[in-house]
Amino acid sequence: MDPQLTSLIVSTSETAHIEETLDRLIADTGANYSMLLDKSGQVIAWSGDTDRQDITSLGALLAGTFASSREVARLLKEKEFKVLFQQGIRENIFTELIAEQWMLVVMFDKRTHIGLVKVLSKRATDELTGVLDRVKTESRAKDQIISTSFRTSVEDTIDLLFKD
Amino acid sequence: MAIINVAQREIRCKIVYYGPGLCGKTTNLKYIHRMVPESAKNKMISIDTETERTLFFDFLPIDLGTVHGFQTRFHLYTVPGQVLYERTRVAVLTGVDGVVFVADSQPNKMRDNIESLKELARNIQNEGKKFKDFPLVLQYNKRDMPNAVPLEQMNYYLNSQLNARSFEAVASRGVGVFDTLKYISKLVISKL
């Protein structure tokens, strides 16, 4: 990843591609919910139960857990832990790293077998790696979105909201 | 790294409050959470110990609303300040867009401030970024303490090489909290 790249721009067509991949993963595994996270904790896309609350908090916490496990890997002289599995009584969470930048999260209950989730997540992460490569290339041309007038408007909003 | 989602018309940036233990990072976030308008406010999450020391991080998403058709949001985090949590701080810094370094103005905390700032520089560089060019603001907190180190000395010990913008603060009363947040938010947006 280019460390000097300050933002990732996910286009409408790539978002559609990501959502299609997540929809198919849910349909094929019978999982309840799936989402794509950036390693910074931001949710890029999701699919599944529409009534799930607190997606933002979930994204921050899951990304935090993964980042923490990466540091554990470093202490153990492992390159990385590519996969994390959290087992609950009702629901389980499977998280897989995508090219050290994104994470694919799948939430499922006892009706879905972990083996199936593992195999099909691997297929999905391969597809999403391709998406990430294209997004990184496209992110270099960002002037159309982040214009000077956009920055000025954000600054005005910041002045308006951030006050005692 | 900021995420710009064109389909959902969203822009999201990550700001981390860094600094030694008990310097006031969580106090900053609590004040912001209390004072921002309801429309901008979201639930604040704290993962802390039984004695309310931060164990992993505090997390507060702030919505700026829609700007030029884009829903703009800042995700504010704190790190755990205690020395033993160094690797946890590295984890929280993942993908950060800007940092507020909160320094404690008490004389007996100056060594902790210096060590923490050095550690931050190391961690940012380990992410492959140049610390001198990285969006950073210093907040000298606890300026109301009777023995607070004079401003010139704070600058000398912490900021003489960095030349970052600094703000005086008393975070427990909200003094300087929004000035700091405003500055780092604008700095992050300017670097997008």
Q: Which of residues 78-107 of B touch A (CB under 8 A)?
A: 87-88, 90-92, 94-97
pLDDT at residue A4, as a whole number: 65
Instruction: Give me the pLDDT at residue A143, please.
Output: 62
How large is the average pLDDT for residues A30-44? 95
Domain spans of chain A, in order of start = 12-161
Confidence at residue B68, expressed as pLDDT on a 0 to 100 scale: 84
Query: Domain A12-161: which CATH class?
Result: alpha beta
Average pLDDT for residues A147-164, to the nearest whole number?
88
**Whether the predicted pLDDT of A155 surpasses 70:** yes
User: Domain coordinates of chain B in residue numbers?
Assistant: 3-191
A30 touches chain B (CB under 8 A): no
Q: What percent of chain A has pLDDT over 90?
A: 76
| Correct CATH for B3-191 of 3.40.50.300, 3.40.1550.10, 3.40.50.720, 3.90.1170.50 | 3.40.50.300
Instruction: Give the residue on B whose Cα is nearest the Cα of A43.
Output: B3
Q: How far is A84 from chain B (nearest CA, A)?
A: 15
Of the candidates A1, A40, A151, the beta carbon closest to that of B189 is on A151
The pLDDT-based confidence of B67 (bands split at 50, 70, 90) is confident
pLDDT higher than threshold 90 for residue A81: yes
What confidence tens digit (pLDDT) does each residue in B122-156 have?
A: 999 998 899 999 999 999 999 999 999 999 999 99
Distance (Å, rounded) from C-alpha B39 to C-alpha B64? 9
Angle at B53 between CA B97 and CA A105, to 5 degrees: 50
Confidence band, pLDDT 50/70/90 cuts, at residue A3: low
Please calculate the CA angle B154-B84-A96 and round it to the nearest 5 degrees: 115
d(CA A151, CA B68): 10
* pLDDT per position as a tens digit, A87-115: 999 999 999 999 999 999 999 999 999 99
When pLDDT is averaged across residues A139-151 and rounded to a whole number, the result is: 76
Whether A152 has its CB under 8 Å from any CB of chain B: the answer is: no
Are the Cβ atoms of B129 and A161 closer than 8 angstroms?
A: no
- Choose among B91, B96, B191: nearest Cβ to A68: B91
The shortest C-alpha distance from A120 to chain B (Å) reads 26
- Mapped to the 3 state alphabet, what secondary structure does chain B carry? CEEEECCCCEEEEEEEEECCCCCCHHHHHHHHHHHCCHHHCCCCEEEECCCCCEEEEEEEEEEEEEECCEEEEEEEEECCCCHHHHHHHHHHHCCCCEEEEEEECCHHHHHHHHHHHHHHHHHHHHCCCCHHHCCEEEEEECCCCCCCCCHHHHHHHHHCCCCCEEEECEHHHCECHHHHHHHHHHHHHHHC
Confidence at residue A54, expressed as pLDDT on a 0 to 100 scale? 84
Q: How many CB pairs under 8 A join A and B?
A: 151
Q: What is the ipTM of this complex?
A: 0.87
Q: How confident is the model at residue B69 (pLDDT cuts 50, 70, 90)?
A: confident
C-alpha to C-alpha distance for A95 and A34, rounded to whole angstroms: 10
**Model pLDDT, residue B177:** 98
Mean pLDDT computed over B52-63? 93
d(CA A73, CA A79): 6
Instruction: Return the pLDDT at A148.
Output: 83
Most confident range, picked from A78-82, A143-147, B8-12, B117-121: B117-121
Task: Considering only the beta carbons, identify the residue of A60, A74, A147 that sits closest to B75.
Answer: A60
- Scanning the structure block, which residue is given the tokens 């999201």? B12
Q: Give the closest of A9, A63, A153 to B4, CB-based.
A: A9
Mark which residues 39-68 of A lie under 8 Å from B by CB: 39-42, 44-45, 54, 56-57, 60-61, 63-64, 67-68
